[in-house]
Amino acid sequence: MTYEIIWEPRAANAAARLLKDDPTGLSAVYEAVDALATQPRPTGSVPYGSHDVRRLHVGDYRVLYMVEDDTIRILVTSPGPDTVTTGSRNSSRFPTGSSE
């Protein structure tokens, strides 16, 4: 099965900024996102609050995406460290639902 990749506006805008600042990094992000079309849960991606929302590290960048029926929605692309701090996963935008 091949998934359709849909870039949400926020993620597309962040990627456009990378084009100017880090074209090599953007190329790596695009390659990783393209690969999601045939392998939506690759090694190195981790669930982010639910099985369908995942985070993928691509070099210095993070890609947050949602796997749906036959589509993958790219929600966020961001540089730098994770936005979720260790030990406070329940305070993330996508809570796990567990009572840690």
| 71-79 β-sheet, strand order | 4-7, 71-79, 61-67, 53-58, 45-47
pLDDT of residue 81: 55
3-state class of 81 per DSSP? coil
> What are the per-10-residue average pLDDT scores of the chain (100 residues)?
96 89 92 97 93 93 95 89 37 37
Distance of CA 6 to the CA centre of its chain: 12
Residue 1 tokens read as 């099965």
The span from the CA of 83 to the CA of 81, in Å, is: 6
Give the per-residue pLDDT at 95.
36
Residues 5 and 33: beta-carbon distance below 8 Å: yes
The pLDDT of residue 85 is 32
Residue type, 25: G
SS3 13: helix
Q: What is the pLDDT of residue 88?
A: 31
Euclidean distance between CA atoms 1 and 16, whole angstroms: 29
